[in-house]
Amino acid sequence: MSIPKTQFGYGYDKRYKTIQKFDDIPIPSVGANELLLKVEAAGLCLSDPHTLIGGPIELKPPLKTSDKFIMGHEIAGSVCKLGSELSKQQDSKFKIGSRFALQINFCCGDCEMCRKGLDGACTTTSQCYGLNEDGGFQQYLLVKNLRTLLPIPDNVSFEDAAVCTDSVLTPFHAIQKVKHKIQPTSKILVQGCGGLGLNAIQILKNYNCHLVATDLKPDIKSTALKYGANEFYNDLSKSNHEPQSFDIIFDFVGIQPTVDISNKYLKKRGTLSMIGLGKFKLVMPNYLFALREIEVFYNFGGNSIEQIECMKWISKGLIKPDVTIVDFKKLPQALEDLVNDKVRGRVVFRPNKL
Ligand code: FEH
Ligand code: ZN
């Protein structure tokens, strides 16, 4: 396999609020216990424009976020070069050509959270591909932390595996935390049918509950129903659903109006699961939630064992992420379309298919 000496990519530069194209990036040399991943698919997420505007996720000292890095945190690829120590190992899972999706956050495997299997919340490091470290909007990515490499089942495409790392994993993780509350008679509301919300509908469909979905975009109705929502509304107040009649609400938007809708429609002892990060701060109705003993969960990403499980769900056909492949060279335009709410499902680039 011939690997070029340089490549191009897109990323963050502290001096600008827009994505930058970086040309002639040297392909990094591979350390003894590292490997080079050929990026076969990389997904675009709303956290990308958030990073460009709000800055990268802070790194824990003593590490300092660099002023420039390649973005793209939903990554899948194949091994194209092994470090000298790795190539000596006979029965290693790391072989030229083996297929992996990356866990977004690096984890140490050793802290209390990692040892509990909650490695998405590793307390040792806050390094994340594409959010404060080099990521997948380039052709070749140096993988230093081998723990982040999660194998892709043979029948799962690189595109699906890439979006699995965030847009499937994040709703999956949120649902795992409350799944013991879901019964066939449960009435569940999904607010927001973007990339994550549509995957949530597909996942929840497998729990056999009554699913209501809402989104301001009228054109998303048919997709939401196709993916398993029993009902869809642009405005829940125009439906027959009574206030305080939902058991669980998943909020994939995270703005004040969606919190207010959850307050109106959650039953006594209902459950609110917050996933969307539309606003940095929100007013939670403290007194009214207390009166009804509403249980509120906050979520961020997920754990590696859940990501492996998500890939099994895709492999078995239990979920099929909604993916649109876009020419890698059109990435800046796709980012603008995402910000302007013109994107449906998840955009994925194939940096090595130009
Ligand atoms: C997931 C895991 C770790 C970092 C960031 C995320 C995403 O939710 C960002 O979109
Ligand atoms: Zn993301």
Domain range for 263: 169-298
Closest ligand, as measured to the CA of 254: 1
Please tell me the predicted confidence (pLDDT) of residue 223.
95
Residue 272, domain CATH:
3.40.50.720
Residue 197 domain flag = yes
**Please, what sign has the CA dihedral across residues 348, 120, 263, 266?**
positive
| 274: Cβ contacts below 8 Å, ≥ 6 apart | 251, 254, 296, 297, 298, 299
Same domain as 173, residue 69:
no
The protein residue whose alpha carbon is closest to atom 6 in ligand 1 is 301
Instruction: Report whether pLDDT(1) > 80.
Output: no
Mapped onto helix, strand or coil, the DSSP state of residue 244 is: coil
Mark whether 283 and 340 lie in a shared domain. no
Q: What is the DSSP string of 291-305?
A: HTT-EEEE--S--HH
203 and 120 belong to one structural domain:
no
Distance between CA atoms of residues 138 and 122, nearest Å: 26
| Position 237 in a domain | yes
The DSSP 8-state label assigned to residue 116 in this structure reads: T
- 53: domain CATH number? 3.90.180.10
Atom of ligand 1 nearest to the CA of 302: 2
Report yes or no: 41 and 8 within 8 Å, Cβ to Cβ: no
Residue pLDDT, tens place only, 176-222: 999 999 999 999 999 999 999 999 999 999 999 999 999 999 999 99
Pairing outcome for strands 140-143 and 35-43 = antiparallel
> Strand pairing of 35-43 and 20-26?
unpaired
95 and 225 housed in the same domain? no
E strands within the chain? 6-13, 20-26, 35-43, 68-70, 74-82, 99-102, 140-143, 149-151, 187-191, 210-214, 231-233, 246-251, 266-274, 295-298, 323-326, 346-349
Q: DSSP letters of 315-338?
A: HTTS----EEEE-GGGHHHHHHHH
Q: List the residue whose alpha carbon is closest to atom 2 of ligand 1.
A: 301
Neighbours of 152 (CB within 10 A): 25
Query: Which ligand has the shortest distance to the CA of 306?
Result: 1
Q: What whole-number distance in Å separates Cα of residue 156 and Cα of residue 178? A: 27
- Helical pair 47-54 and 331-339, crossing angle rounded to 10 deg: 90
157 domain-assigned = no
Q: What's the mean pLDDT in 318-326? A: 95
Q: Are residues 210 and 270 in the same domain?
A: yes
Q: Give 188 Cα–ligand 2 centroid separation in angstroms.
A: 24
Same domain, 123 and 37: yes
197 and 213 Cβ atoms separated by less than 8 Å: yes
What pLDDT is stored for residue 222 in this prediction? 97
Q: Are residues 144 and 269 in the same domain?
A: no
140 and 241, same domain (yes or no): no
Ligand 1 binding pocket includes 128 (Cβ within 6 Å): yes
Is 91 a residue whose pLDDT tops 90?
no
Q: Judge if 128 and 174 occupy the same domain.
A: no
Instruction: Determine contact, residues 136/37, Cβ cutoff 8 Å.
Output: no
Residue 156 lies in a domain: no
Which of 39, 45, 48 lies closest to 8, judged by CA? Answer: 39
Do 59 and 103 share a domain, yes or no?
yes
Residue 45 Cβ < 6 Å to ligand 1:
yes
Q: What is the pLDDT of residues 276-303, one digit of tens each?
A: 999 999 999 999 999 999 999 999 999 9
- Residues 178, 108 share a domain: no
Decide if 162 is inside a domain: no
Does residue 61 sit in the same domain as residue 146?
A: yes
What would the mean pLDDT of 300-313 be, rounded to a whole number?
98
Ligand 1 midpoint to CA 102 (Å)? 12
**Based on the structure, what is the number of domains in the chain?**
2
Q: Using one digit for the tens of pLDDT, what is the confidence trace for 265-279?
A: 999 999 999 999 999
* CA nearest ligand 1 atom 9, residue: 47
List, for residues 50-80, the tens digit of each pLDDT value: 999 999 999 988 888 899 999 999 999 999 9
CB 257 within 8 A of CB 285: no
Question: Higher confidence at residue 109 or residue 61?
Answer: 109
Q: Is 166 in the pocket of ligand 1 (CB under 6 A)?
A: yes
Residue 160 included in any domain: no
Please indicate whether residue 104, judged by its CB atom, sits closer than 6 Å to ligand 1. yes
Beta-strand relationship, 74-82 and 99-102: antiparallel
Contact 229, 198 (CB under 8 A): no
The percentage of residues in the chain with a pLDDT greater than 90, rounded to a whole number, is: 96
Structure confidence at residue 345 as a pLDDT band (50, 70, 90)? confident
The verdict on residue 344 lying in a domain is: yes
Q: Has residue 290 been placed in a domain?
A: yes
